[in-house]
Amino acid sequence: MQNVTVLTPSVLTLGFGEMTAMKYLYAVISLIFYILIIFCNVTVISTISLQKRLHEPMYIFIAVLCVNGLYGSSAFFPNLFLNLLQETQTISYIGCLTQIYCIHTYMGCELTILAAMGFDRYVSICHPLRYHSIMSMKMVLKLVIASCLYNFIFFLTHFVLTVRLPLCDSVILKIYCDNWSVVRLSCIDTTLNNIYGICITTLSFGLMPVLIMASYIQIFRVCLQSSKDTREKALQTCSPHLITLINFVVDVLFEIILHRFKPTTLPYELRVAMSVQVLTLPPLLNPLIYGLKCSEIRVRITQLFRLAVFI
């Protein structure tokens, strides 16, 4: 019987590979991206918080989506920037586990918040007379808390299953830690992790899109029976949400495809691009999409900037 060396690593090596040849350029790019993400999201959050006219369910969900974008990007960019400035690109085992938990809960929260926003649009368009009674501040608060707690608690079991694994290697092929990258390093059978991973992926990234689709089927059905002005208004309020949803789902599909293949079989540049899209594009594009497409937010942001200039 072959002996297996079981490690209890304190430090893991990240797969920066060819990036180290131009690491200072990538460090500058990552810093610019992170500053832009912080600026765009904080601008939208501040605008919604300071303007009482924007204290409506739709805008509150947008603010929560931006907070989640800051949460996810902050789990990725600071460590990326610091690693690019170092001679060796490593992360502590505890830091790796922390990054895993934050990144996976960020992705889960993104989808559940989008599902809550889909329900809000459904009530607004299909039951306009009952909108304020259904989407009360109490209901909005419940939906926000449920969207977050669902993922933080649901992923905890998956996280514990990963923490229990002894590792036989300390080299992660990606430039950040995710759950499957650490599971790949295990010395023991990971069937339980794989089964639970499939279940959690199916429930999170299968159920939520179905709920969103169900909301939009009802919305489109009502729009077909309504006037042209009503259809245009519905499209105007729903289009930012649909663009945000499609952007996120496509980015997640890239990540899922990357997991299905052995990472080393894909070109390095493609592998890196596919793996970072879900952590860079949604946090950056979400506030831009809502800031540009939602006239109320756009007007209020303009007013705040004008006020800041005069002050």
pLDDT digits (tens, 9 = 90+) for 21-68: 888 999 999 999 999 999 999 999 999 998 888 999 999 999 999 999
Q: Residue 6 domain-assigned? A: no
Q: Residue 3 domain-assigned? A: no
Quote the pLDDT of residue 97.
Answer: 93
Of 174-183, 272-281, 295-304, where does mean pLDDT reach its minimum?
295-304
Show Cβ contacts of residue 181 under 8 Å, excluding neighbours closer than 6 positions.
172, 173, 174
Show Cβ contacts of residue 134 under 8 Å, excluding neighbours closer than 6 positions.
123, 127
Q: Residue 282 domain-assigned? A: yes
Question: Does residue 3 have a pLDDT over 60?
Answer: no
Quote the pLDDT of residue 1.
Answer: 40
- Residue 169's pLDDT band (boundaries 50, 70, 90)? confident
**pTM, whole model, 2 decimals?**
0.90
Phi/psi-derived region of residue 208, left when phi > 0, alpha when psi is between -120 and 50, beta in every other case: alpha
Assign 3-state DSSP to the chain and report helix, strand, coil percentages, each to 5.
80, 5, 15
Backbone angles phi, psi at 188, to 5 degrees: -115, 175
Crossing angle for the helix pair 268-293 and 57-74, nearest 10 degrees?
A: 150
Tally of structural domains, the chain: 1
Q: Residue 202 domain-assigned? A: yes
Q: Which domain holds residue 155?
A: 11-310
CB 66 within 8 A of CB 45: yes
Q: Residue 4 domain-assigned? A: no
CATH code (residue 16): 1.20.1070.10
